[in-house]
Structure 1
Amino acid sequence: MSAAPVARQRRHTLYFLDEIRGHKPVFLDTEVDMTRIEEHRTAGRRTSVLSYVLYAASRVLASHPEANAAIHGRLLPRIARYSSVSGKIALDKRVGGRRVVLAAVLPRLEETALNEIQRQVEYYRDGDPATLPEFAGVHTLHRLPWPVARLAYTRTVRPLSRRAGKFGTLAVSSLGHRPVDGFHSVGGTTLTLGLGRVTDRPVVRRDAVTIAPVMRLNLAFDHRVIDGAEAADILGEIKAALEDFQEDAPPGPAASAVVAGKGGGR
């Protein structure tokens, strides 16, 4: 046996997990017939499933302002509702020779075209975290002394006024490039989507069984912010938006920018 301090490159993950301990997640899942998505992918530029889900889910979430929100506080909890949808994606990267998870936030997704979402996904997917300016803050955390870094992280992400820019208002994580059918995670947002692989499975259409590409779509929602009925509606609407995908579908109505309580800081 050997024991050693946690690698500096993993500090941001530990800080994040500590920060979201107050979440009260409940988990839902469904299956999505991806036939329409696969047809759309072969008809034009090769676009990732992640981009399709970000596109569809952001438009659904824009029509559910109660869920496009964040909560903070235990004794006097306050909820902030945001005027646009910011999507956080998880990235499998190497930093200083260690494999770690990094996160990037894509702003105003509900009004962003599919090809632009794909461009942003590729920017973060293919970019070197050592040189991308968006990850400069993470590198700073790794260099600071442990107590100072933890305090700096908390002060940066905890205020509700900054939460959407740091955590997003919707988190999407995909393991579809692995032999994983489905998984649940908590991304620090009211809604977190987990994407499994797309694989051929039997489905029923017009009273007949056929084979179709199917994806398991998992949803974790923070029960402090919304209840199960609304979460189930959101999951169902995302499923429908993917199964009947329309790239020119208009975005949902803008969410309310009102922040509950006085002020908008914490």
Structure 2
Amino acid sequence: MTAVRVHPERRRRHTLYFLEHATRQRPVHLDTDIDMTRIEAHRGAAREAGRRYSVVSYLLHATGRVLHRHPEANAVLAPGWPFGLRGPRTLRFPEVTAKLALDRTVEGERTVLSALLPGLERASLEDIQQRIERYRGPDTERLPEFRGVRLLGRLPVPLGRLAFAAALRDPAARPGVFGTVAVSSLGHRPVDGFHSHGGTAVTLCAGRVVDRPVVRDGQVAVAPVMRLGLTFDHRVVDGATAADVLGDLKHELEGFDDGAKEDGNQLLHRGAGPDLRP
């Protein structure tokens, strides 16, 4: 009889501590389909010009602008302190900071690292792409911003739990720990849609971009479509607000414009795809 192998989850301890914390959330799930015609046209023109943009970069670009317009969803619940004498409050943040989930192999073990991208409300698509590429380089886990994750993997479990809880004690410091919005993508796999909750008021989950039938002006056409899931913490926002955020994201992505001047050199020309904005 083969002995069962016990495997200590040192590389995933930060994830397990997070999941213990995340049980406090009250997640509700929404989703919608995004017509990616304009974005795919932009990506194609960029490739011809020698530049590659990931789908996640466009999602982050839209997310920064949309959550800046919806500060009630760019927030965190603050407990009623001290001793519960004051009711729960929400803290709304002026800056949008995304927590981007990264699939990485650390010392032979597959794990998830979370990179923080602050200032999304003012970041250009190019700036966002450059930040993502930094995290896709070799030895990502050795970057200084993942020092805390490395420490949690080395600490004894009781101390690791205490250290994780201490990092979350001050709600005002939450953007520097969890970000203000979580973003995850499984678009590199045959996954149409999924939902998770990333410890923030809003979590966005992107599936693959695949050709699907759509209806335009009463006619069936084929277009690249991406399923976008939105999970919201019902303690922080209500369903109507979350639906507004998801609808605004759909509008922003389907009507993508890189903001370039009409000088004949911009990547997205008028008419490169159907104008899907109302």
Fold agreement, TM-score > 0.5 = yes
Cα contact 2:75–2:180 (8 A) shared by 1: yes
- Whether 1:37 and 2:8 are equivalent positions in the alignment is no
Where in structure 2 are the equivalents of 1:79-228 lying within 5 Å? 79-228=90-239
Where in structure 2 are the equivalents of 1:46-61 lying within 5 Å? 46-61=52-67
1:5: Cα distance to partner?
Answer: 5.5
Matched to 1:56, the amino acid is A
- Whether 1:71 and 2:77 are equivalent positions in the alignment is yes
Distance in 1 (alpha carbons) for counterparts of 2:106 and 2:52: 28
Matched to 1:191, the amino acid is V
Gaps of 5+ in 1: 250-266
Distance in 1 (alpha carbons) for counterparts of 2:41 and 2:140: 33
Gaps of 5+ in 2: 261-278
* TM-score, reference length from structure 2: 0.86
Residue 27 to residue 67, structure 1, CA distance change in 2 (3 Å): same
1:77: Cα distance to partner?
Answer: 2.2
The percent identity for this pair of structures is: 56
Distance in 2 (alpha carbons) for counterparts of 1:107 and 1:16: 20
Partner-residue secondary structure (3-state), 2:11: helix
Partner of 1:20: 22
1:184: Cα distance to partner?
Answer: 0.2
* TM-score, reference length from structure 1: 0.90
1:10: Cα distance to partner?
Answer: 1.1
Distance in 2 (alpha carbons) for counterparts of 1:221 and 1:66: 12
Matched to 1:33, the amino acid is D
Compare CA radii of gyration and give the structure with the larger one. 2
Q: Stretches of 4+ moved more than 4 A in 1?
A: none
1:179: Cα distance to partner?
Answer: 0.2
> More relative contact order in 1 or in 2 (CA 8 Å, sep 6+)?
1
